[in-house]
Amino acid sequence: MTDSREYPLNRRRRRLLGSLGALGAASLLAGCDWTKSDSVQAALGRTEDLTQAAMRLVTSREALAREYPKSAIAPEFRPNGSIQPQTSAYQALLDNNFADYRLAIHGEVANPQTLSLAELKAAPSRTQITRHDCVEGWSCIGQWTGARLSDLLVRAQPTAKAKFVVFHCADHLLGAAEPYYESLDMIEAYHPQTILAYGLNGADLPVANGAPIRLRAERQLGYKMAKYVMDIELVESFADIQGGKGGFWEDRGYNWWAGI
């Protein structure tokens, strides 16, 4: 069986592999690993070969992604995709240092939430040093601090219908009419390393990396980790959201399941 969704990814991989040589020098400066993309390529191979169900059989619900020592942290975490949302609404939030930011958790929940950045920072947190793997063939190690999504979901009380958690973002990547978005299933959403990060390497999360909060779901590829998260919606299905495939890049051909 051929899966038409694989084609754009493979085409992209070929193109990007071709440009990796030229990027080698820059990677050393940035402290990110752009040249040794074997792990990313291996992960992509696995993602394409194994269905989500098969991967669930070989990986436990709670298995943790590898964590690293402080010495492994890259001096600068390479930003990718949107690096500064262009809407006036986002600019207004930024101008006020996110004092007016409110994260709504809504949809299939019994107890909808509206949380300020201060409330998110006061929620149970986790700090983790992990490696980010982008499908474009680079990796980078950073230390993330954020609110555990599981605790916030317990507060919001998902209904029995809730099957996915959808993250709606502030930015319109590539000039798209609708903003970036992503989604996780409930197992990834409740995983202990799934956090809403507001800190990177001990400082406030920079705008380029998703301020005020960005998702970290450490068992997934980079494109799943929504930056500039504005609201979180629990749904039974994402068929009616944007292109119906569960994410910005999924609507453009990437696999929804991006486990590594």
Ligand X SMILES: Nc1nc2c(c(=O)[nH]1)N[C@H]1C(S)=C(S)[C@@H](COP(=O)(O)O)O[C@H]1N2
- Binding residues for ligand X, rule: CB under 6 A, are 77-82, 134, 169, 171, 173, 180, 209-210, 222-223, 225-228
CB contact at 8 A, 101 and 117: yes
Structure tokens belonging to residue 70:
């402080």
User: Helices 38-49 & 6-30, crossing angle to 10 degrees?
Assistant: 160
- Please report how close the Cβ of residue 135 comes to ligand X at its closest, in angstroms: 7
> What is the chain's Cα-based Rg?
18
Residue 79 near which of Mo ion, ligand X, none (CB within 5-8 Å, type-dependent)? ligand X
Closer by beta carbon to Mo ion, 44 or else 196: 44
- Please report how close the Cβ of residue 40 comes to ligand X at its closest, in angstroms: 10
Q: Does 222 bind Mo ion (CB under 5 A)?
A: yes
- Please report how close the Cβ of residue 32 comes to ligand X at its closest, in angstroms: 9
Strands 229-235, 203-204: pairing kind: unpaired
How many whole angstroms separate alpha carbon 252 and alpha carbon 237?
18
Can you tell me which residue has the tokens 């040589």? 21
Residues 108-137, interacting with Mo ion (CB under 5 A) = 134
How many whole angstroms separate alpha carbon 206 and alpha carbon 77?
10
Closer by beta carbon to ligand X, 139 or else 234: 139
Closer by beta carbon to ligand X, 98 or else 228: 228
- Please report how close the Cβ of residue 134 comes to Mo ion at its closest, in angstroms: 3
